[in-house]
Structure 1
């Protein structure tokens, strides 16, 4: 049975991803900063017929929490097949480039960028023990520099010096990581679930959680011929879903 760790998985897109991967027969670690909240979610899921799910405490901004989670997965599974770096924050809004406090931007980067790097580096050894390791970094169309430079893009005016730039940095890290692991059976991709109606954006997005998660899974549960080092977006209206960087 393949195993997957999903950070920030006790609600919204993360939680729906847990459900669908459980239904597909994977053993799912439901990552949550608050272990009790995670356990409560798992209890409810189990009561509703979902199996092979375990809550695991992981705060991507705290090295000790990451190490403890890694040790748990290692002792229970011996390896990890899939890492979905889903945890993220938007930060306080608005985020004007000229006057957003540095501490506010740093807080967003600590979770969205440095947190992903910390978790990925901690679990890389376990992922290398898998026959088909996958790393999916959940990003945003707001991290596309190309689209943000196009006045005709429908989200052109959605500028954010913390959130958007943290996702652009995450995209750049994804490229670097995929390149480094290119000779191994890894598939490392940045996946944008699209502008989805969730608690994250006060349900302002037009997309559904179900569509977002289907897209994430499509580009995560891939075969050996699938691309690596790509940026996929559910908001790109063509069959490839490839987004410009």
Structure 2
């Protein structure tokens, strides 16, 4: 590994994570493209390497401690961590009809996975002169949106999986920001918005926003200067209410 600024993006073989990897590579970083599937990760990294810069595949399943530990052990430097990997669970099922197992599966990736990856990478991030952590959340994690009668999210069907996991991730982001402030590590949550990716293909409405559009706020938070914010929740327009 060179001494060039190094970033790790989880769940980056496609969608928003792929575009984040591309954008950080264009910023001149060495980008480690995390993917559960080795072949898909290698293919994605090769495409980005040909077009955008130094992108290297890393096998990393955020629910598998062995792959997380192996990825951390293989690194000598890390400056930016983007916790992008996430799953939606069963859509449009109300809490009263949701099984605890389904909730656990979503939290295992969207919250516990973030905790495991972040903790494994912290020794490296603490050695960085300007470490940044970005947790990819969602506007549906905003309690303010869901309880505001004037906001469209207050009319969405109730769910106990994805929105709840993103609210929990927002809280986890704040707690990491509190802990790591003294180390100079900036930790923020990003709301990329609904984008036309495989993740949103089952939504009952047309989405025109691209994965690259969604990646922009994540890249911005990953490249904050020393006076940048920490412990916040942001989208393209600025602060998202909790």
TM-score, normalised via structure 1 length: 0.92
- Name structure 2 gaps, 5 residues minimum: none
After TM superposition, where is structure 1 displaced by more than 4 Å over at least 4 residues in a row?
none
The structure with the largest helix share of the pair is: 2
Residue 39 of structure 1: how far off its partner (Å): 0.6
| Matched position secondary structure for 2:133 | strand
| Matched position secondary structure for 2:78 | coil
On the 8 A contact 1:22/1:51 being kept in 2, the answer is yes
On the 8 A contact 1:57/1:65 being kept in 2, the answer is yes
Match of 2:41 in 1: 38
| Matched position secondary structure for 2:173 | helix
Match of 1:121 in 2: 119
What is the RMSD computed on CA atoms of the aligned residues?
1.3
Deviations 1:120-173, CA, capped at 9 Å, x for gaps:
011001000100000000000110111111121122233321000000000000
Match of 1:66 in 2: 68
| Matched position secondary structure for 1:42 | helix
Match of 2:179 in 1: 180
1:12 to 10, 15, 19: 15
Q: Aligned pairs, how many?
A: 235
| Matched position secondary structure for 1:28 | strand
Q: What is the alpha-carbon distance in structure 1 between the residues aligned to residue 47 and residue 190 of structure 2?
A: 28
On the 8 A contact 2:9/2:34 being kept in 1, the answer is yes
Stretch deviating more after TM superposition (201-210 or 20-29):
201-210
| Matched position secondary structure for 2:227 | coil
Q: What is the alpha-carbon distance in structure 2 between the residues aligned to residue 24 and residue 43 of structure 1?
A: 17
Q: What is the alpha-carbon distance in structure 2 between the residues aligned to residue 45 and residue 208 of structure 1?
A: 17
Match of 1:214 in 2: 216
On the 8 A contact 2:177/2:186 being kept in 1, the answer is yes
On the 8 A contact 1:8/1:31 being kept in 2, the answer is yes
Match of 1:225 in 2: 227
- Name structure 1 gaps, 5 residues minimum: none
Stretch deviating more after TM superposition (85-94 or 155-164):
155-164
Match of 1:55 in 2: 57
Q: What is the alpha-carbon distance in structure 2 between the residues aligned to residue 163 and residue 156 of structure 1?
A: 15
Q: What is the alpha-carbon distance in structure 2 between the residues aligned to residue 95 and residue 188 of structure 1?
A: 32
